[in-house]
Every structure is written in C-alpha cells, then in structure tokens.
C-alpha cells in the first residue's frame, strides 16, 4: 500500500469510490426520512438533535474513507474487501437510523459505525507496514480510531442520562485523531481528488433531496391533493436545489485545500453542508405534507424546516470559500444578504416560503453573475505573462 503522490496528474474518483457513495447515501436517505417523520409529528427539538447526532456518524465514517483513499488507494483485493466491510457497516447504520432518531436507541447504528471504523483501522495498519516514511502517522490513526471505537461500544452500556455528554466527548475525540496523527507526517491526500469527492457526494445528497420531495408529492397526489396547492412547492424546491448546486460548484475548492489547518477546516465544515442539504429535502417533504393538512406543525415551523437548512447551506458554502480579508466588493457580501432574506421568508403565509426561497436563491445566482461580469469588465487587462 504505497502512498500516492499528492501532485499526481489526472487524479480522479475511482469506480469503487463512486459505488461506495451510492451505497452510503442509503444511510443519508434513512436519516433524512426519520428526521422528516420527527418533524411531521411535531417533535422538532428531539428530531433536530437526533438528526445531528446520526448524521455525524454517517458523515465522519464517509469522510475518513475519502481522505484515506486519496492517499492510499491501491485498489488491490484486500483494499476492495475492506471497502466491502465498510459498505456493510453503512447499510447497518442505515437500518438503525430510524430507531436512533425516534427512540434514542443508538445500538444498531453504533455497531454499524464501529464495523466501518474497525475496517479503517486495518487499512491504516496496512499503510503503516508499507509506508515507512509515514508509519508513525498511520499508527497514530490506527490506535486513535481503535481507542475511540472502544469508547463507542462502552457508551452503549452507560446510563441514558449521560448519553449526550459521552456522545459529545467521543465526537471531540474522533475529530482530534486526524489533527493529532497528521502532526507526525502529513499523508499524501490529493487536493483536486478531495474536492471532486466532496463535490460528488454533494451531488448525491442534493439528488436525494429531489427524491424525497418527489415521494412526498406522489403521496400527496394519492390523497387527492390539488396540483395547484403543490405547484409553488414543486417550483420552489426545484429552483432551490438547482441554485444550491450552482452555488457549490461555482467555487474552486482545491485552492482552499492548502495546508493541514485549511484542509481540516474545509473538510470538517462540510458536516453542515451535507447535513443541511439532506435536511432541506426533509423540510420540503414536511411542507408538502403540511400543505395537504398532514402533520402537526404550525405554518412558521413548517416553513423554518425548509428555510433554515437552505440558509445554512448557502452560508457554509460562502464561508468555506471566502475569508474576511477578501470582502472587498458587493459580490462578496451578497450571499449573507440573500441568507437574511431567505430566513425572513419564513414568516410569509404558507406555502409561499418555499417558493420565495427558490426565487431568492435564483436571484442570488443572477446577481452573482452580473456582479462578476461587471468586475471582469472593469478589471485591468493582464499581461499574457
């Protein structure tokens, strides 16, 4: 398992990575569906907390595989078989998502998570054996992951009243492992490959948002709902998802993946990017149900279930690709203004918030294009050299 070059040309996602993502999105879909059910039943606080906890497990397991594969993807038989084990763990996590959100029973999802993480321990031990230059780093990863997994298993036997506290402590331990391990010697992850992998997973999550909304509309039509009542939701949802896609891929991510601190900030920040994208699908489905008089939410709460995730997504994409020192013209601050307008649309009468959010997101794209074009037209011509 020889380390790949960090400046390798034409480094792209492999078919195994794509297959892994497609299997992994099952867990995302189940978490979003369980979150939708909690919201529809009026259990907003409980649903948000449960969703945040479950999605961390999903995101962190995916993220660790992605960064490891960027540095040590040998694609040999043991590597593929260990990836199969991780896929099995992802499916176990998907099976336990509903119980975790509804009943606070994290037994199944914990075992699925531990299965995935123990497979990663084996991968890091293989890398330690084959890469003497980074052996200390690989061993730190293996030991750190193994110790934390013991903590997750022990947590299952602890009283319920310390469950949230121990979860938070173990999350901090998980987040600390890469920062600690990479201090020994940085692994050879590839900036363009990492950016592509994150982009592909964003595409899949946004696609899951459309799938969830489509299912909700189909269910509503089966209950004799009027297409006129659903049209604003459909139009607003499609406009929003298309705008979120546009905003995300309008950025050049590899330029931010320079050095370990920036890479950690960028990688960790995607927890909220992925989680908010999937939550937007759940929020759209909740608004469809609300429009057909199903569920137990007020107009404001139903609207917030959609506008807040969209606002979080736009804010995080903006923050991950900008720095305070770069805010020099209107094109750099238009995103926060759009976010405030989207949040304000929460107070519009139902079902207007979804449609308004879609229109505002589309206007954000249009304004960004206009301002960028004006900036390019007024910038001085550059020398070919």
| Interior/surface letters 306-337, b for 16+ CB within 10 angstroms, e for the rest | bbbbbbbbbbbbbbbbeeeeeeeeebbebbee
Q: What is the pLDDT of residues 129-186, one digit of tens each?
A: 999 999 999 999 999 999 999 999 999 999 888 888 999 999 999 999 999 999 998 9
| 154 & 269 share domain | no
Q: Please determine, for residue 115, whether its predicted confidence score (pLDDT) is greater than 60.
A: yes
Out of 117-131, 144-158, 346-360, pick the least confident: 346-360
Nearest-angstrom CA–CA distance, 309 and 291? 19
Q: Which residues of 345-375 are buried (b: 16+ CB within 10 A; e: fewer)?
A: bbebebbbbbbbbbbbbbebbebbeeeeeee
pLDDT for res 383: 46
Any domain includes 315? yes
Task: Provide the whole-model pTM.
Answer: 0.89
Helices marked H in the chain: 15-40, 44-72, 77-103, 107-130, 135-155, 163-182, 191-222, 227-249, 260-291, 299-320, 330-344, 352-378
Domain-ending residue, one of 164, 182, 200: 182
**How many residues are recorded in the chain?**
385
Q: What is the pLDDT of residues 180-213, one digit of tens each?
A: 999 998 999 998 999 999 999 999 899 888 887 7
Distance from chain centroid for Cα 19: 17
pLDDT of residue 307 exceeding 70? yes
Q: Is residue 364 part of a domain?
A: yes
In this structure, the answer to whether residues 160 and 207 fall within a common structural domain is: no
Give tens-digit pLDDT for 211-236: 877 877 777 777 766 777 788 888 88
pLDDT recorded at residue 303: 92
Print the domain residue range for 171.
15-182
User: What's residue 326's pLDDT?
Assistant: 53
Residues 197 and 309 in one domain: yes
Residues 43 and 158 in one domain: yes
Same domain, 59 and 111: yes
Distances (CA, A) of 107 to 46, 111, 114, 153: 18, 6, 11, 9
Please tell me whether residues 121 and 237 are part of one structural domain.
Answer: no
Among residues of the chain, what percentage have pLDDT more than 70? 93
Residue 378 has pLDDT above 80, yes or no: no
Tell me, yes or no, whether 8 lies in a domain.
no
Q: How confident is residue 258, by pLDDT bands cut at 50, 70 and 90?
A: confident
Residue 382 domain flag = no
| Residue 345 included in any domain | yes
Domain tally for the chain? 2
Dihedral of CA atoms 354, 358, 359, 364 in degrees, nearest 10, equals 140
Q: What is the mean pLDDT of the chain?
A: 87
Domain boundary among 157, 182, 207: 182
Residues 235, 186: Cα–Cα separation, whole Å: 46
CA separation for the pair 105, 116 (Å, rounded): 19
Is pLDDT of 382 > 90?
Answer: no
Band (261; pLDDT cuts 50, 70, 90): confident
Q: 355 and 217, same structural domain?
A: yes
The domain boundary, picked from 182, 209, 236, lies at 182
pLDDT computed for residue 335 by the predictor: 86
Amino acid 325: pLDDT: 44
Distance CA 30, CA 22 (A): 13
Does residue 42 share a domain with residue 166?
A: yes
Of 60-64, 135-139, 284-288, 302-306, the one with minimum mean pLDDT is 284-288
Does residue 381 sit within a domain?
no
Which pLDDT belongs to residue 377? 66
């Amino acid at each position: 398992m020889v380390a790949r070059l960090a400046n390798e040309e034409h480094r792209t996602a492999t078919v195994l990575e794509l297959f892994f993502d497609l299997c992994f999105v099952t867990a995302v879909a189940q978490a979003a569906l369980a979150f939708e059910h909690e919201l529809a039943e009026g259990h907003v606080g409980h649903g948000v907390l449960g969703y945040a906890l479950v999605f961390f497990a999903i995101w962190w397991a995916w993220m660790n595989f992605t960064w490891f594969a960027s540095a040590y993807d040998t694609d040999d038989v043991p590597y593929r078989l260990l990836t199969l084990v991780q896929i099995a763990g992802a499916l176990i996590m998907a099976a336990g998502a509903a119980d975790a959100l509804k009943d606070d029973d994290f037994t199944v999802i914990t075992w699925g998570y531990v299965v995935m993480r123990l497979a990663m321990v084996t991968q890091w031990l293989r890398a330690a054996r084959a890469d003497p230059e980074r052996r200390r780093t690989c061993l730190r990863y293996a030991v750190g992951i193994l110790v934390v997994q013991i903590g997750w298993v022990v947590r299952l036997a602890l009283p319920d009243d310390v469950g949230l506290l121990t979860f938070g402590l173990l999350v901090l331990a998980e987040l600390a492992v890469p920062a600690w391990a990479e201090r020994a010697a940085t692994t050879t992850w590839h900036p363009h490959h990492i950016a592509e992998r994150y982009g592909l997973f964003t595409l899949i999550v946004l696609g899951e948002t459309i799938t969830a909304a489509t299912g909700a509309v189909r269910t509503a039509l089966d209950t004799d709902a009027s297409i006129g009542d659903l049209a604003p939701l459909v139009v607003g949802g499609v406009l929003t998802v298309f705008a979120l896609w546009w905003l995300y891929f309008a950025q050049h991510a590899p330029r931010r993946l320079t050095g370990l601190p920036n890479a950690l900030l960028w990688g960790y920040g995607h927890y909220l990017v992925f989680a908010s994208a999937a939550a937007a699908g759940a929020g759209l489905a909740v608004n469809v149900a609300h429009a057909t008089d199903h569920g137990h939410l007020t107009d404001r709460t139903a609207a917030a279930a959609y506008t807040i995730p969209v606002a979080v997504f736009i804010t995080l994409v903006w923050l991950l690709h900008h720095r305070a020192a770069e805010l020099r013209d209107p094109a750099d601050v238009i995103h926060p203004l759009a976010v405030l307008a989207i949040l304000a649309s929460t107070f519009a009468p139902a079902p207007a918030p979804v449609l308004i959010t879609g229109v505002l997101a589309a206007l954000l794209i249009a304004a960004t294009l206009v301002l960028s074009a004006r900036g390019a037209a007024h910038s001085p011509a550059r020398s070919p050299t």
